[in-house]
Structure 1
Amino acid sequence: MPVNYYSYSHESARLIIRPLLLDDSKYWDDFMNSDEATALFPPNLKPPHFTAEDWIARQRKRYADDQLGLLALIEKKSGDFIGMSGLLKQEVEGSPEIEVGYHLLPKFWKKGYAREAALYFMKFGFTVLKPESIISLIHIYNIPSQRVAQTNGLTTNKKVIKNHGPAYVYRISVEEWAKTRSPQ
């Protein structure tokens, strides 16, 4: 996977998408300190053990190590930092996978931004990286994220305990993706 996707210029209908900056931690603090946003996170990925600075440093390490990672989502209309989305390398039961992930600040939930960002990165993944499929690992109690995955055409028939589980593995194959997308 020699493509450094974080070096691309990314944009969707309502979002400017860019690499995370260390200074973005001031915005991400609101997410990390929200009991609602982190309710399903394991304790080692919550403050005080894991901070907004740690989260952003982890993504920037992914940029260097994997040429993937979550990117900042900026609302075009307001210029507000609203969250993160992107593609991640994962290993599920010994198999390498490409995951589309998304995390939004709670005040931007239920506005279609997670769906828009995930669709953008799925299209990028299938067009540029060309995996056989793309997954989303979603906690079994995270119903809103499951709805985003389902709306975007991903389905599940597998539950895993690793990867911060218990989680469902939602998946869409390149063939399923091609069937659901009109030519552009």
Structure 2
Amino acid sequence: MIVTERLRLREMTKNDEENLMEIFSDPIAMQYYPSTKTREDAQRWIQWNLDNYQKHGAGLWICEVKENGMFVGQCGIVPQIVDGVPEMEIGYLFARTHWGNGYATEAAVAAKDFGFKELHQPKLISMIYKPNTPSIKVAERVGMTLEKETLIKGRETLIYSIHAK
């Protein structure tokens, strides 16, 4: 578990389906993804993260308000392949009702620190669908800069990165 000023980031469990559906079923929250997701998709998502915790020591974590345990989103570090190269990505996706509170940035900074200090990654990236201005702003607030533009699954994707100091 990671604790920040306002948030607690914890591993997902099979019981987080309802939390994730708050995001996955919302077409506005999912506007930069190919589509919304079903409950079956949410269960596969949870299993993917459980596998990532075992294989990579990280995955997407559930983000909750520290003082009351309220679910606000998910953030963490996941493996990706970009142009044939394995990378570790800081990913974040928050419930629309909690946008604009700085939670994504706070969680992404914690994920960055974990990636460098605990996972000893030399570099972390964020893969952002080109029109997703809010995610670009989060990446920049975390200290990332635009590395390149590429196609991921046929979509124009910006690769932001930051290197360990």
Give the structure-1-normalised TM-score. Answer: 0.83
Measure the CA separation in 2 of the matches of 1:28 and 1:164.
26
Secondary structure (helix, strand or coil) at the match of 2:131 reads coil
From 38, 42, 54, the counterpart of 2:30 = 38
Which residue of structure 2 lines up, in the alignment, with residue 18 of structure 1?
Answer: 10
* Change beyond 3 A, Cα 1:94–1:59: same
Secondary structure (helix, strand or coil) at the match of 1:37 reads coil
What pairs with 1:148-159 in structure 2 (closer than 5 Å)? 148-159=138-149
Measure the CA separation in 2 of the matches of 1:155 and 1:174.
13
* Change beyond 3 A, Cα 1:48–1:70: closer
Q: Determine whether 1:142 maps to 2:132.
A: yes
Q: Determine whether 1:118 maps to 2:127.
A: no
Contact 1:12 1:116 in 2 (8 A): yes
Q: Determine whether 1:88 maps to 2:78.
A: yes
Greater C-alpha radius of gyration: 1
What pairs with 1:54-73 in structure 2 (closer than 5 Å)? 54-73=44-63
How big is the alpha-carbon RMSD for the aligned residues of Structure 1 and Structure 2? 1.8
Measure the CA separation in 1 of the matches of 2:21 and 2:110.
25
Contact 1:32 1:38 in 2 (8 A): yes
Contact 2:17 2:39 in 1 (8 A): no
Q: Determine whether 1:165 maps to 2:144.
A: no
Secondary structure (helix, strand or coil) at the match of 1:55 reads helix
Contact 2:24 2:38 in 1 (8 A): no
Unmatched tracts of structure 1, length 5 or more: 1-8, 176-184
Which residue of structure 2 lines up, in the alignment, with residue 76 of structure 1?
Answer: 66
Deviations, residues 55-112 of structure 1 (Å, cap 9, x unaligned): 2222112223333210111101231011111111112112221111111111111100
Contact 1:29 1:51 in 2 (8 A): no
Contact 1:92 1:163 in 2 (8 A): no
* Change beyond 3 A, Cα 1:142–1:50: farther
Contact 2:21 2:39 in 1 (8 A): no
- One-letter code aligned to 2:94: L
Secondary structure (helix, strand or coil) at the match of 2:148 reads strand
Which residue of structure 2 lines up, in the alignment, with residue 182 of structure 1?
Answer: none
Measure the CA separation in 2 of the matches of 1:165 and 1:12.
33
Aligned length: 165
* Change beyond 3 A, Cα 1:76–1:48: closer
Measure the CA separation in 2 of the matches of 1:113 and 1:163.
28
- Counting aligned pairs with the same residue, the percent is 30
